[in-house]
Structure 1
Amino acid sequence: MVALAAAGMLLLSSCSSTGSAASGAIEPSGGPVELAACDAVEVGAVTRCENFYDDYWPAISEQMDALYETAKQADGGRLVIWDWYELSPDVIAEFNEVYPDLKIETRGLTYNLSSAIISAKATGSRNTDVISGSLVSAATMTDEGYWADVDWTAFGVPKEFFTIGAPEMLPDSVNGSLMQVNTDKVAEAPATLDGLLDPQYEGKVSVASYNANVFAGYGMDKGEEAMTGLIGDLKSSGNLQVLEDQDSPLSSGDVPIALGQTLFNPNPSLSVSPYEDAGVFAQFSGVNVDAKNPAGGMLWSLWNAYNPDWLELRMTDERFSTTQVPFPGLPTSLFDSATGLMQTNSSALLTGLAGGAITETVDTRDDWIAMINAADAALNG
């Protein structure tokens, strides 16, 4: 959900302002890391470095040790992380097993995340050290100058990871539009959104009112008029229902196809698949320009995005199986280790990405925002 916020969130002020640098600007220990050559494999719009854990991670890990020593001294070792949802105690425990002297304070703010960060800076309150989101959902944070100027490549992160987002935005995961299907009722979903117009799907497809972004990739490829026309036809045909609770009728089979993102329901009858012109949104994290513990913010961002032990848990332990899939720039072996829901979700998203899904980039961000808003008006108007 954090990547794909409702259109209303996108209409927050985008007036540009210049923030001051995060307190205690951090430089790499011993100077910038000399980057290895990436053993590159193209996965759609993402460049995968198959040698990441052999040739990049050791240097990154060394830099993280130095960041930890700095973070322990900043703000009494306090690390504040605000996100869409607050971090679970289990996640915090995994971080503290490696970095025990940092005390994490977390809040879950959903749609109020950006406004809470802006308000904290305006009032001088203790702000989050970490900011995160997709290019679309973090548009306000970007335009208001909240991403601290961090050169992640100087800390060892491959330069190939920064072809989609801005240099200060560390890519940490990916999410995107998928069809969720109850295979007890429907053998498989159609390969296109147009395929949902078939009379056999009357009353069998749902979308949430806040999820108009599932149509935006179609609009980016075929144009706004074609997209809004498709939404109108799906609604008028009776094939598409707008439901706030898609999960229950999907799980029961009453409405066996749901347009959404990754699955979070372990019901074995449910599958998920990409479709033509689906949108893919890279997720990013970084340091808040108003951070009181910027070293801690960097440390958390790198650990959460790339630490192999942590990611192995996310890929194999249902307690940590989030709706977001690790960044596809990481090696194939990481994704091959996935089990359960993470295997289902990562396989679908990576198949879509490799198959030509429409990927949001920093250059197309505003076009995506406009298309999402147009889709929202067609769906909910």
Structure 2
Amino acid sequence: MHHREIHLPHVLETSFIVRERDPRGAPVDLDAAPQVVRVELQRGERTVGVTVAPAELEPSLAALPGAERTCVLRDLDVPPAAAELAPLLYVALQRARVWRRSVVVSHDPRLAAAPLQLSALGRGELRAAPLDAAMHRLYAACDDDGRALLTSRYVAEATASLARHAEAFAGNAWCRAVHADRLAREQYVAALANTHQYVRYTPRLLARAISVCDDESLRDHFTRHFRGEQKHDRLIEADLRYLDADVEFVVNAMVPWGPTLAFMAVQESMVAFHEDLTCFIAAPFVAEGLAAHVGPTVLAPLAGNIRRWGYREPARATRFLVSHTREDGGDDGHWNATLAVLARLLRDDTTQQRFLAALHLAADAFTASYDAYADYLTLFTPPPLADP
């Protein structure tokens, strides 16, 4: 699976220096696959460290129930009562949060006490805690410098989380069919038709966000986004017409498929019910991020599929996708504008955890929707070695 690299935002300078390396000493990106990572935190002359690892890679923990949802902390190197302990452990567990782990475990009795507060499991000296509660306690235990370090990493953590989703999205059933030149016309029409179901509401959702936003800078962001989202549903309709699809049905009678409706529900509930504008951004953060970073690898093979269906001008069937790949990428795209806004909004652990929850909901639904566009219509998939 190949997709454009998602570049993690620059982490702001703090009084700390963070080093994250694999067992051979090589730096490990925050969006890297789950692996053993040594995390070191330096402040002044003092350096502290801890190792974080996926539980399934630890021989003594591989058979643990739920190991694939668990991370382990070990090899703690911190003086007693050091102020660096809480930020060090939090930074290490940020990586586990990117891995979507839900439990942290350790054999080290020093971690059973505050601030981590691991509880005995009845499995020898192993102790554990839910990851969300543990990270909240660590954040609360940090001094001002420690919290400044953690919040400076929040956008990078969110972007790394999305990069992990991009790996999954690039391998969904629909994208696999495109790259294998086995996408059916009906499977592409389904993708466009379902996308129309939420794209046509984007200006109204942004208008709702503008109306309830008391933050002038954030309101300006939504206003610029609103102006850029006008009549994008018309591009989809033009693409569908070129493919001889039933546009009247799509516009006036179609019901979005379940996974598509799940993606829609995330942003609709956040802006209309919760009025949580930070979490409302999670849906465009996902959609624009995936469009910018996965979309370019799909366009050329998609054009080949369209030609195979007998349409000689693929550009007339891909106006919407091309537009969003172009607009959502680049230094002046929605993606980078969203990163700048999030850097100001993600300022504490509770807000970060809530934003990440919305991000995962949106990304899981977005990927599932593209799986559905292919899997629900496998009847139309051309047989292997079929003539064009």
State the TM-score, normalizing by the size of structure 2: 0.28
State the TM-score, normalizing by the size of structure 1: 0.29
Which has the larger strand fraction?
1
Which has the larger helix fraction?
2
Of structures 1 and 2, the larger Rg is shown by: 2
Whose relative contact order is higher, 1 or 2, with alpha carbons under 8 Å and at least 6 apart?
1
